[in-house]
Structure 1
């Protein structure tokens, strides 16, 4: 696979008619995590840790930061956060695929310097099973 442009990694939110790109993001990150279940015991070979496969909680987290670019998607993100709603999102990873499922906005932060633009940071946590569609 050839190198991909970071700007092509997109975060999209369901708006009732489909998915719209969360506008103005300058950086984006998608992380997958899985908890482990430790089943190590006194007779574990060489006292090496043993893990129980197929167990533990899986989760995905999305984070990003950017500038305000689109009034409609900005308003939608703010409303979803203040409602504490769980909404469908898509994360499009170029030449890899699309991850889609329910997420909750867990952080929405605003910042600005007196001689610069207002920026925002957001964090999403998965809130159910995710689907992956290969590119």
Structure 2
């Protein structure tokens, strides 16, 4: 895509802006980003960083490779909390490539300091019809 970094990743960040603007005024979100309180960066830009005293969220993690997930998780510095979200039913990676999220759930399952939570259709907070759609897919998978 043509343009600078912001123009290239802007479409991918729209869901994050939507979520922030659902709980904070748009001007507040803009100021927090301008002042560096909130930073959004592509996963590829995390290599070599140490993220101290912050909250870090990796969204859509089902589409990371195992190597990307390991790289991301090892960026955690002192005083930081890391949240990884993803839907293992919506993996867009090539079939031959294992999801980093699926791998991390297996590899890290016995690390007592790591909490894991699995959500179902009952947790959907979008349009009520989405709950029914998710439940229908869950039911079809069980058959």
Q: TM-score, normalised by structure 2?
A: 0.20
Greater relative contact order (CA < 8 Å, ≥ 6 in sequence): 1
**Structure exhibiting the larger radius of gyration computed from Cα positions:** 1
In proportion to residue count, which structure has more helix? 2
